[in-house]
Structure 1
Amino acid sequence: MDQSRLEQAFQHACRLQESGHYRQAEQAYRRFLGEYPDHAGGHNNLGLVLMALGELDEAVTRFRQVVALQPDHAQAHNNMGVAYKRMARPQQALDCYAAALRCRPAYAQALLNVGTIYYELKDYDEALIWYQAALEVDPDQIEVHMNLAAIFESRGELEEAKKHRDAVYSRKAVYVDHACDPRMTVLVLWGAGLGNIPTEYLLPRKSVTRIVCVIEYARPDELARLPDYDLVLNAIGDPDVMDPALEPMARLLHTCGKPVINPAQAVARTARHLIPDLLGGIENVVVPCTLRVESAALRDALHALPGNRFPILLRPVGSHGGDHLDKLESKADVAAFKPWPAPYYYLTDYVDYASADAGFRKYRVIFVDRQPYAYHLAIGSHWIVHHDTAGMQHDARKRREEEAFLADPRQALGDKAMAAIEALGHVLDLDYGGVDFSVLPDGRVLVFEANATMLAHPEKTQDIYDYKNPYVQKIYDAFDAMLARRMAAARGHV
């Protein structure tokens, strides 16, 4: 191949890649490399295309080919690390990033990627070191600022969190992630803070093009240039963080004319202090009384509670996953309690839900279009129960009980509790949401929370929890089918 034809063929493949036509780009790169097999850039770009297509093993092979040709190719080392990270192999990813930094010490993307490994491991101190190094090289990195904002918010440093969000979204608030084999395009309305619906698996990259719009920051000119889309997903799942987005969201939805998944008014009803009134009338459902109190008045409110209201649970608004959740056993604990920086706190009556075997069971059911799908069961020895800290990995009996719940939730919960869960899904009235709950000895359902922020993620293949994956896939399939129905109805093809 002469030099001019070589350059033309390579640039043609690059243009296909840049425009999101990944299948065509893959074919173009393969033809190009068939004639020029030692072109490092071609192998590197084909590796990137294969990552976009989800073909991670071959992507790694391509990046290895690059570093065999050019051992100091920092980008290929870094890209290989990204592929390993997506394969849930963090140590191999870190090794690749280290190789990239040996080739290019001031490589901002590799510094960012190391920081993100530690960020996802929740080693925030180490993540901060790497993110700061990345910003010293390139102060405008979007992902660094986004993750720093999340770290500072988790630490209660809200002004610092806002500074980093402003640094990102005031410049750009709309991002397009092209699918390689698109079946639909979804406009995802995102909140700048925590509390968004986890959409990574609900909207698969291979088949759904995502237009992510951080609605509270989006400028009119950005909204005017939105690509065409089929559906709108309101991904702001926590009503406590929704206020800044309500007005701009309403303006956009007033004119867009597209189906909306999880309308804001449905999400707003799921605030913790509103759930008792919303769900408390359902037969065989117990929803503990919850008060929303300004933090400045928190101690006075606690002192004013009668002694028989203790134990009581305290959590700052906007917190999830048990973060900053405290249990005060009596009024004597009030003096020692140190509130987390937050404008409001929730005070919830504690209900002892220990089972006859002294275990604490927390079930999660996901609702898709109001229908229940069993997602997980965690069994722990402490009243705060999370799947990853309950010791499930060390107890096959617990895992067998979880699998039995997933396979037949009605048999596991009993008819009374299952009927209550089914009714709860209809009253909750979310297109996507979930409920965390336990079952009391008398068969009633004790609700911990019910909202749209619920995560449903797959487990690693050949992991001890991979028995969950067929049931998780049912959730994704149901969500995908709902989107297809809504899209077809909007087009008049019911």
Structure 2
Amino acid sequence: MELKRVDRAELVSYPCADRIGFAKLTTMAFNGVDLRPMRDAIMAKIAMGTVDAGEGLDLSLIVQLLGDKQMGLAVQDEVLAFHQLFRSPCSLEQPKLRVLALAAVMDVSGNTPIEFLLEHSGTELQTLYVVNGVELPSPLPEHDVAIVIASDSEECREALRKIDRIAAHWPRPLLNPPQRVGNLDRDKLHRLLHGIEGLDMPATEAMTRARLSDLAQMDGPLADIAADMRFPIIIRPRGSHAGNGLAKIDGRASLGRYLAGRPEQEFFVSRFVDYANDDGLFRKYRIVFVDGRPYACHMAIADRWDIWYLNAGMAFSESKRAEEANFMRTFDDAFAVRHCHALAGMAKCIGLDYFTVDCAENKAGELLIFEADNTAVVHNMDSPEIFPYKSPQMNRIFDAFAAMLLHRAGGRRERPA
């Protein structure tokens, strides 16, 4: 069904289920709070037939945070079968702005964790889940600005297509349009960013298990099969994140062993880049782009190439934290200036209103891109005692995000007469 262009007055206030929400529950889990009593209390309500949709969606997240992804997704499917619109907690009784987030039916990592960005902004956040077999409501729910928070993953493709069919006629500003979100897949991203001055992103090839099995058994250079490819290579299952299934492969025998230990049928493969500094340590950066402007998010330092923040031991090293603090403090005058052409070119080519980039610097001083994403977790959960420099920087990002939404909505919330 195609939505016609509608007048702003035609937007409708639908029943909206209140939830504890992603930000609060994830922060509780991050801080070591036992979520099992909350899980059991909601389960008791289910047994009595008194649970509401918001509590059901919270239960889905709690179960996933407790480690049972399959059960959590099953609960989510049951809830979303009869209700799709949810409201997150707002820090003001009279919100400054109404934001409609368009989400796909995914696990906890499949949609932008937008609650962290808006938690203390005085913004009313409603999330509409785009469910297979269920049309988007027409008229749409009341809102001042909308944003697509579904990812580029295969599981989100149908949701993105459904949003895209009516995106041109959306009655309010629509940020992070679905066509551009779909360009973030690793192989597409390389083609999109190719040729930007000062930027290095190794060619990424999508390969099937059958093709990789052939590579593991045949002779000759890899370049005969894929341009810019040679051992060592980096391989990961297609759609994986946070290092799941990521490996460095030094030769055909190790490729065969890797495949023997993985169940997936599709993989991403690229050449390995040694980006260690002269001190032998690897440094990986996360940059947040808001309305085209880059902001420092974090810096991870480790003696291993397969680095992300949680395995870098930043909390246990004062020297690492001092370096990260300096990176944040000097970002606008140092890193952002050093890589101004690469950052500006990337923002223009990707064209999203909000996204993140994980990157490093190669030995030639270029910006080495690992991935771009619209669903990476950008948060302020770290201990202010251990990371006193983080909260001011995170608040800069949150303030910029809220200001962008307010600006795109026309500078003020329209209230009914």
**TM-score normalised per structure 1:** 0.68
Structure 2 residue identity aligned to 1:182 = P
User: Residue 200 of structure 1: SS of its match in structure 2?
Assistant: helix
Larger Rg: 1
Supply the RMSD in Å over aligned alpha carbons: 3.7
Equivalent positions of 1:175-254 (< 5 A) are: 175-177=86-88, 179=90, 180-194=93-107, 195-204=110-119, 207-217=122-132, 219-220=134-135, 223-224=137-138, 226-254=140-168
Shift of 1:83: 9.6
User: Aligned equivalents of 1:474 and 1:176: distance in 2?
Assistant: 25
The alignment status of 1:315 with 2:236, answered yes or no, reads yes
In structure 2, list runs of 5 or more residues that go unmatched.
1-14, 223-228
Percent of residue pairs identical? 28
User: Aligned equivalents of 1:178 and 1:146: distance in 2?
Assistant: 16
Q: 8 Å contact 1:190–1:212 — kept in the other structure? A: yes
Number of aligned residue pairs: 382
Map of 1:277 onto structure 2: 191
User: Aligned equivalents of 1:485 and 1:183: distance in 2?
Assistant: 12
Structure 2 residue identity aligned to 1:449 = E
Q: 8 Å contact 2:284–2:359 — kept in the other structure? A: yes
Q: 8 Å contact 1:414–1:443 — kept in the other structure? A: no
Shift of 1:85: 6.5
Map of 2:283 onto structure 1: 361
Structure 2 residue identity aligned to 1:190 = A
User: Aligned equivalents of 1:258 and 1:152: distance in 2?
Assistant: 38
Map of 1:106 onto structure 2: none
* Superimposed CA distance per residue, residues 357-381 of structure 1 (whole angstroms, 9 cap, x where no aligned partner): 0000001111001111111110001
User: Aligned equivalents of 1:200 and 1:368: distance in 2?
Assistant: 16
User: Aligned equivalents of 1:257 and 1:414: distance in 2?
Assistant: 36
1:171–1:84 Cα change, 3 Å = closer
Map of 2:351 onto structure 1: 429
User: Aligned equivalents of 1:218 and 1:470: distance in 2?
Assistant: 43
Shift of 1:283: 0.9
User: Aligned equivalents of 1:399 and 1:408: distance in 2?
Assistant: 14
User: Aligned equivalents of 2:62 and 2:171: distance in 1?
Assistant: 33
Shift of 1:138: 7.2
1:205–1:435 Cα change, 3 Å = same
Map of 1:346 onto structure 2: 268
The alignment status of 1:403 with 2:316, answered yes or no, reads no
1:144–1:350 Cα change, 3 Å = same
Map of 2:225 onto structure 1: none
User: Residue 142 of structure 2: SS of its match in structure 1?
Assistant: coil
The alignment status of 1:168 with 2:79, answered yes or no, reads yes
Higher helix share: 1
User: Residue 473 of structure 1: SS of its match in structure 2?
Assistant: helix
Shift of 1:489: 6.8
1:440–1:460 Cα change, 3 Å = closer
User: Aligned equivalents of 1:438 and 1:136: distance in 2?
Assistant: 51
The alignment status of 1:457 with 2:368, answered yes or no, reads no
User: Residue 268 of structure 2: SS of its match in structure 1?
Assistant: strand
1:476–1:358 Cα change, 3 Å = same
Q: 8 Å contact 2:361–2:368 — kept in the other structure? A: yes
Map of 1:90 onto structure 2: 32
User: Residue 161 of structure 2: SS of its match in structure 1?
Assistant: helix
User: Residue 223 of structure 1: SS of its match in structure 2?
Assistant: coil
In structure 1, list runs of 5 or more residues that go unmatched.
1-18, 23-47, 55-81, 99-108, 114-130
Shift of 1:478: 1.0
Q: 8 Å contact 1:196–1:238 — kept in the other structure? A: no
